[in-house]
Copies of this chain bind each other. A is one copy, B any other.
Amino acid sequence: MATKLIIAIVQDKDSNRLSDIFVDNNIRATKLSTTGGFLQSGNTTFMIGIEEERVDDALALIKDASHARDEFMTPPVNMDVSMEGTTAFPVKVQVGGATVFVLPVDKFTHF
């Protein structure tokens, strides 16, 4: 039974939910919090040692929790503005997105 290493880089905003999902599915993930990166906000790297047979299931969970999608956000209202009746309109922004590598592993162990 071969082991694989999944390296998944997701946005910080999706990482807590994804951690919970891994726990619920009995997938042991090592979370490396990182700041910056090519994603606008901070990103989180998960490293998962997993049996080859379960790789596709894990990828489906990652995709479900962290894929790129549009969200509508309302920009903060500038409190300095003297005009009353100012309205902040929601704008569409893309959030989420995951970059995922599946690597062959010679050995995976815990001490």
Q: A-side interface residues toward B, CB under 8 Å?
A: 4-5, 7, 9, 19, 29-38, 43, 45, 47, 49, 55, 59, 62-63, 66-68, 97-111
Contact = CB atoms under 8 A, between A and B. Distances in A.
Q: Tell me the interface secondary structure of chain A in the complex.
A: strand
B32 A34 contact: yes
A91 to B, nearest CB: 23
A23 to B, nearest CB: 10
A62 B102 contact: no
Given A30-B38, A32-B45, A34-B33, A108 B100 contact: yes
B29 A33 contact: no
Contacts of A59: 107, 109
